[in-house]
Structure 1
Amino acid sequence: MLINCVAYQEGKKLADIPIEDISEYLSHPKCFVWVALRDASPEELATMKEEFGLHELAVEDALRGKQRPKIEEYGDSLFAVIQTVEPHGDELTVGEVAVFVGANYVLSVRRDAQQGLVGVRARAEREPHLLSIGSAFVLYALMDAIVDRYFPIVDALEAELEIIEEKMFASGAGAQRDNIERLYELKRKGLVLRHAVMPLLDAMGRLYGGRVPVLVENCQEYFRDVHDHLARILGRLDSVRDTIGTAIQVNLSMVAIDDSEVNKRLAAYAAIFAVFTAFAGVWGMNFEYMPELKWHYGYHMAICSMVIVCGYMYYKFRKSGWL
């Protein structure tokens, strides 16, 4: 579906144009065309391929979707894939934006992404001195907008991790098991975002420093800024991942400690009742010449002996922290 198709010249918007007029505007000096599509159909991409002379392999990747973040060169043009990561309830949904960039055109194809990129166009149009750089600046603006949307997700992951850490020492094995489940869910979300950031971080190195495509020579410092943002996000994700790993180990230790406390209590009560069993076993043998059986207060003395010994054991277990 076509979102918009606009022609620009020297950083200023000329007009919203129909697709049929793209070829005409491409022939104008210092003019480029910016087209945005959403969930493009094969017919729409075929039309764009004909209008812009897109490479068939890049078109195939954009049509198929589910691509790994990457930046590829096709002659004097670039093809970039950036994954979008958006919160949807308790889950993170992954979409992608495929961007075709040439000297006089930019084509963005958004797929499986809810948040639009209209704000990027508005921002670029407010900065005509930067937009006059051409299609390379548009590529930067699109990448910068998508990468900046990663930061609130990282903030949410860190905030949720802090909440779990505060509850980490809550009493009860049930609470610890709930914490472990939440930590694993948090770890899974972090991996989703990491899979979007890590490949793009590696690919960004092609756009600044050393040999770079002629198309982006005038925008290297901008792409370096995006690379810096990605590096910061990756560093924070690594910190979250390490903290989650430590928290999981602590929670598992807490569960083991709780189990150990239960076992200690059971062992203490078993030892106390073993006294009753031992006394009853001795006095229950009923030998004819057993002195206690002939005592008038033998039964009362036996019960008192059991209570005294068991009470003493209970006191010692309680003092040692077993009960």
Structure 2
Amino acid sequence: MLINCVAYQEGKKLSDIPVEDISEYLKLPDTFVWVALRDPDQAEIATMQEEFALHELAVEDAVRGHQRPKMEEYGDCVFVTLQILEFAGDELNSGELAVFAGPNYVLSVRRDANQGFLGVRARAEREPHQLKKGSGFVLYALADAVVDRYFPVVDRLEAELESIEDHIFGKVGEQRANIERLYALKRKSQTMRHAVIPLLDAVGRLYGGRVPPVVSETQDYFRDVHDHLLRIAGRLDAVRDTINTAIQVSLSMVAIEENDISKKLASYAAIFAVFTAFAGVWGMNFEFMPELKWRYGYPVALATMASVCGYMYWRFKKAGWI
């Protein structure tokens, strides 16, 4: 679906243009065309390929989707893919943004993501002195918007981790739920790492040293994006390490509680074993057992059993087994 198709000259918007006129505007001096698509079909992609003379391999990646973040050069065109992360309830969903940036055009293809980039276009149009830098600045603005949206995601992951940590030393019945929440959080953090870590390398190739001509005037901006990614990657590493530690602590708490339960069961089993032993001896009913004909034999037997069991209970209680 076509979102926008706009021509700019000298950093200022000329007009919205029909798709079939794109090739004509590309011939104008100091002019570039910015087209945004969302979940396009094959026919729309084919039209854009023809209008912008896009490389077939880059088009194939944009059509298929599900690409890892990367940056590739095809002649004078830079092809960049980024993952868009957004929460839907408690689930972290991953979409994709593919950007073709040539000397006088930018084509962005968004898939499987609800959040748009109209704000990016509005921001760029408010800064004509920046927009004069052409497609390189638009590529930066799109990448910067995607990366800035990572910060609320990692904030939420950290907040969720803190919430789980507050319950790690809680009741025993909560440990299983805590471990399940930790593994779910670990899966979300891995999803985010898959979006951030490869993008570090891709953005790192857009500043310093030899860079594509398209971004030659915007290297400093891409260095800023790279710095943001480094900050996010560091926070993700901290989240991952904390999750692993929390999982180990939770498992240890479960093991400790199981050991305490085993101690309690062993203690009560030992106490009842005393009853069994005494009852077994006095229940044999031999003819010459003196206790059988003694008037106080039965009360003494019960008192002895109760006294021994009481003593054992006291010892186990003192030892912390009960």
* TM-score under structure 1 length normalisation: 0.98
Question: What secondary structure sits across from 2:287 in the alignment?
Answer: coil
Deviation at 1:286, TM superposition (A): 2.1
Deviation at 1:3, TM superposition (A): 0.5
Aligned to 2:152: 152
Answer yes or no: is 1:115 the counterpart of 2:92.
Answer: no
CA distance in 1, matches of 2:136, 2:301: 96
Aligned to 1:36: 36
CA distance in 1, matches of 2:41, 2:285: 96
Deviation at 1:94, TM superposition (A): 1.1
Deviation string for 1:66-97 (max 9, x for gaps)?
11111100011100111111101111111101
User: Residue 108 of structure 1 aligns to which amino acid in structure 2?
Assistant: S
Deviation string for 1:286-306 (max 9, x for gaps)?
222222223110111000000
Aligned to 1:59: 59
After TM superposition, the runs of 4+ consecutive aligned structure 1 residues lying more than 6 A away are: none
CA distance in 1, matches of 2:314, 2:111: 70
Deviation string for 1:201-256 (max 9, x for gaps)?
11112101111111111111101111111111111111101100000000000001
CA distance in 1, matches of 2:41, 2:289: 100
Deviation string for 1:4-54 (max 9, x for gaps)?
111111111111111122122111111100000111111111111111111
**Which deviates more, 176-185 or 35-44?**
35-44
Answer yes or no: is 1:18 the counterpart of 2:18.
Answer: yes
RMSD in angstroms over aligned alpha carbons? 0.9
CA distance in 2, matches of 1:49, 1:164: 49
Note the 1:157-306 alignment, pairs <5 A.
157-172=157-172, 174-306=173-305
Deviation at 1:146, TM superposition (A): 0.6
CA distance in 2, matches of 1:139, 1:181: 40
CA distance in 2, matches of 1:240, 1:138: 32
Question: What secondary structure sits across from 2:205 in the alignment?
Answer: helix
Question: What secondary structure sits across from 2:109 in the alignment?
Answer: strand
Question: What secondary structure sits across from 2:285 in the alignment?
Answer: coil
User: Residue 86 of structure 1 aligns to which amino acid in structure 2?
Assistant: E
Deviation at 1:314, TM superposition (A): 0.9
User: Residue 111 of structure 1 aligns to which amino acid in structure 2?
Assistant: R
CA distance in 1, matches of 2:10, 2:68: 34
Aligned to 2:138: 138
How many equivalent residue pairs? Answer: 322
CA distance in 2, matches of 1:145, 1:79: 17
CA distance in 1, matches of 2:4, 2:202: 28
Answer yes or no: is 1:7 the counterpart of 2:7.
Answer: yes
CA distance in 2, matches of 1:77, 1:246: 45
User: Residue 119 of structure 1 aligns to which amino acid in structure 2?
Assistant: G
Aligned to 2:104: 104
* TM-score under structure 2 length normalisation: 0.98
Runs of at least 5 residues in structure 1 that lack an aligned partner in the other structure: none
CA distance in 1, matches of 2:69, 2:54: 19
CA distance in 2, matches of 1:303, 1:41: 88
CA distance in 2, matches of 1:39, 1:45: 10
User: Residue 247 of structure 1 aligns to which amino acid in structure 2?
Assistant: A
Question: What secondary structure sits across from 1:218 in the alignment?
Answer: coil
CA distance in 2, matches of 1:20, 1:185: 48
**Which deviates more, 30-39 or 283-292?**
283-292
Question: What secondary structure sits across from 1:14 in the alignment?
Answer: strand
Runs of at least 5 residues in structure 2 that lack an aligned partner in the other structure: none
CA distance in 2, matches of 1:41, 1:300: 93
CA distance in 2, matches of 1:94, 1:157: 15
